[in-house]
Amino acid sequence: MIAALLLQFSIGAVYAWSVFSSALKKPDAMALTNPEASLPFTVTIGMIFIGSYIGGRIQDRTGPRPVALAGGIIYAIGCIIASFALSHDSSQLWLLVLGYGVISGFGLGFAYIVPIAMLQKWFPDKRGLITGLAVAGFGFGAVLTAPVAQWLIAMTPTEPNRAFLPLGVGYLVLALIGASFFRNPPAGYAVPGWVPASSGRARDSYKQFTEKEALRTPQWYLLAAILTLNVTVGIALIAQANSSAIDIAGYTVAGAAALVGILALFNGGGRIFWAWVSGKTGRMTAFGLMLGLQGVCLLIIPHASNAVLFFILAAVIYLCYGGGFGTMPATAGDFFGVKHAGAIYGLMIIGWSLGGIIGPPIIAALIGGDKNYTLGYTVIGIIALVSLIVPFITRMPKPKPGDGASRSVPAAEAAAND
């Protein structure tokens, strides 16, 4: 678990991009436009799916250690390459996109899926909580990286990309230390005192789905849709949090920046909290609550002129956004087994990429130049509430005749998911 957190801390630094974005737009640096400054991050999010899918398939066959090591190295190399984009204009934007976007994004996805799949095999009795802890490390990565990156950028403000060199080396060290301890449990491993479900829904009648078998079920597409929708509605606020705090609730520029940093804690904490809740209430109930709470908060937040109320509403949205990442890996494990979790959930990460690409442009277009936050957040809030139908109609895949008795979960979890 500790090794997994070290790796996730290093690659989770990707969420600190806004620190670089602000620096790169300054006239005495690269003088990038808003779209140019967001391009490396957008490419990174898009590459995560490709990396996680390929890495997930490989780690199912070779084990977690070599894939995690390779992913950490690739991620760090991409950051180091980005440190050479030092031109004082946008002529080297392509180098920044190649290093930070394409290469680091691929390495991030390649490594991200590994601890999630591995830990479910070590902790079959606590899949929700353990994957929530793992991805919480990813969420907290930006909290640790942002102030360090800001300090490094301040040392060479006209060449902010220089900060990627020491950061890349730091990421490499953390990733190598963490990944070197990765391994799957030995054959015949069992959690002492844990008894698989023997009543309620007979989970033992479910086979371990292969990737192709999972893709033939409607459940895989429904789960991918839930992840996409949860990311889309949550990231709509994340993309506009700073300006929304200033324009809606009257935060100062410094206060809004501090608020965004604090909200990142809720992003990370939500991954643990909702993973735990889902083990008590059932996965689909938890996703319904996440989408419903986000919908209600998004409808209210454009009218939250009080700074405290705005913070509370935004914190709930961040909590639910992070919760999707903490809960979905265990949900996929419940539905399809953990033997091929790397490939099955790795492909499901497409929901992250889609939501990250769809949400920000939609909210930006709706708010527009006249700052119509009521229209923007109302539409996104309605989308969140309408999305409740997806977890409502999603049910466990039914066993086929002849499926082997190879799956098991705790009796309490089995009952909760029924």
Residue 284, Cα to own-chain centre: how many angstroms?
A: 18
CB neighbour list of residue 232: distance below 8 Å, 6 or more residues apart:
354, 355, 358, 359, 362, 380, 383
The per-residue pLDDT for 301 is: 97
Count of Cβ atoms closer than 10 Å to residue 386 Cβ: 12
> C-alpha distances in angstroms, 93 versus 29, 86, 104?
12, 9, 15
Closest CA to 139 of 391, 369, 325, 397: 325
Paired tokens of 192: 């002492």
Place of tokens 């830990």: 119
Q: Cα 243 vs. chain centroid, distance in angstroms?
A: 23
Report the alpha-carbon distance of residue 208 to residue 96 in Å, rounded: 42
Q: Do domains 1-184 and 202-418 have the same CATH topology?
A: yes
Tell me what pLDDT residue 196 has: 55
Tokens of 306: 């009080």
DSSP for residue 15 = G
Q: How many CB atoms lie within 10 A of CB 400?
A: 10
Q: Where are the alpha helices (DSSP H) in 250-349?
A: 253-281, 283-300, 307-336, 341-348
Vertex 79 angle, CA 242 and 257, to 5°:
15
Short-list 385, 138, 324, 365, CA closest to 236: 365
The amino acid that residue 295 corresponds to is G
CA distance 297 to 25: 32
Nearest 5°: the CA angle 296, 300, 306 is 140
Torsion, Cα 149 154 159 162, to 10 degrees, reads -40
Give me the helix-helix angle, 164-179 and 2-11, nearest 10°: 160
Q: Give the Å distances, CA to CA, from 119 to 31, 50, 52, 206, 352.
A: 44, 22, 16, 20, 21
What SS3 class is residue 130?
helix
Do 75 and 130 form a contact (C-beta atoms < 8 A)?
no
Burial letters for 152-176: b for 16+ Cβ neighbours within 10 Å, e otherwise? bbeeeeebbbbbbbbbbebbbebbb
- How do the pLDDT tens digits run along the chain, 418 residues long? 899 988 988 888 787 777 787 778 788 888 887 678 778 887 888 888 889 888 888 887 888 999 999 999 999 999 999 999 887 776 788 999 999 999 999 999 999 888 888 888 888 888 777 877 877 888 788 777 877 888 898 898 888 889 999 999 999 999 999 999 999 888 877 778 766 544 333 344 456 888 889 999 999 999 999 999 999 999 888 878 877 888 899 988 778 777 877 888 898 889 889 988 988 899 999 999 999 999 999 999 999 999 999 999 999 999 999 999 889 988 988 898 877 877 788 788 889 888 878 888 888 888 877 889 999 999 999 999 999 999 999 998 876 555 544 444 443 344 333 3
Rounded Cα distance between 319 and 335, Å, is 24
Distance CA 158, CA 87 (A): 10
Supply the Cα-derived Rg of the chain in whole angstroms.
21
Q: Which of 394, 408, 397 lies closest to 202 in space, CA to CA?
A: 408
Would you state the pLDDT for residue 34? 65
CATH 1.10.10.2160 fits 202-418, yes or no: no
Domain boundaries of the chain, sorted by first residue: 1-184, 202-418
What is the sign, positive or negative, of the torsion defined by CA atoms of 225, 230, 232, 235? negative
Q: Under a CB-based contact definition with an 8 Å cutoff, are residues 318 and 234 in contact?
A: yes
Residue count (the chain): 418
How many CB atoms are closer than 10 A to CB 368?
Answer: 11
153 vs 30: CA distance, rounded Å: 13
pLDDT of residue 400: 55
pTM above 0.85, yes or no: no
CATH of span 1-184:
1.20.1250.20
